[in-house]
Amino acid sequence: MKFKIYSVFLIIFLLIYSGCEHGIAPRSEPPRTGFSGKIYFKNNWPNDIYQTRVVAFRETIRTVADFNIFNIGFISDTIPYGVSEFTYESDKNPLIEPVAGTTLKYIVVAQAIVPTPLPRRQDWRVAGIYYSSEDSTKYGSVTIEQGIFKRNIDIVVDFNNPPVQPPN
């Protein structure tokens, strides 16, 4: 009889501890891949805006043809109208998520000026641009590396002093 009780306890003990890797230790999350930043909005928002997003392109927009879906490397979730600042993270609800191994060379705050925008230059206005931290006259770029999350990709949007627009 004692043998059966000890056998039952041994079986229960083995079942409990064989399925446990690290006891009650928290599950480790894989490292994040992507980038984040804060957008600072200055002055009054225009009234003709239908949506605002962070959009990152693989190549700088030099011609109308460069503004196309194949050149887009990231599109954020919609930024609420009228906010004074907004924090974005490329791995939180993106419309298009960045892919590791991609370099994003033109990162902007883009605003749709039509109710149902398409990836056409005439449907969007550039409101702010990410500039290099080393040279504020040059566009900043971000290379997406697997397991690395880059921060402080910040953009200032000054509605009274908009950037030069890409070709239309």
Residues 77-87 have pLDDT tens digits of 999 999 999 99
Query: What's the total number of domains in the chain?
Result: 1
In a domain, 25, yes or no: no
In a domain, 89, yes or no: yes
Q: Name the residue range of residue 106's domain.
A: 30-158
In a domain, 22, yes or no: no
Above 70 in pLDDT, residue 8? no
Nearest to 90 by CA among 103, 77, 80: 77
- Mean pLDDT, the chain, integer: 89
Query: pLDDT digit string (tens) for 48-70?
Result: 999 999 999 999 999 989 999 99
Residue 168: predicted pLDDT = 76
- pLDDT band for position 28 (cuts 50, 70, 90): confident
Residue 72: predicted pLDDT = 97
Above 70 in pLDDT, residue 5? no
What are the structure tokens assigned to 107, written together?
A: 């990162």
In a domain, 87, yes or no: yes
In a domain, 165, yes or no: no
In a domain, 11, yes or no: no
In a domain, 7, yes or no: no
Residues 6+ apart with CB under 8 A from 35: 89, 90, 98, 142, 144, 149, 150, 151, 153
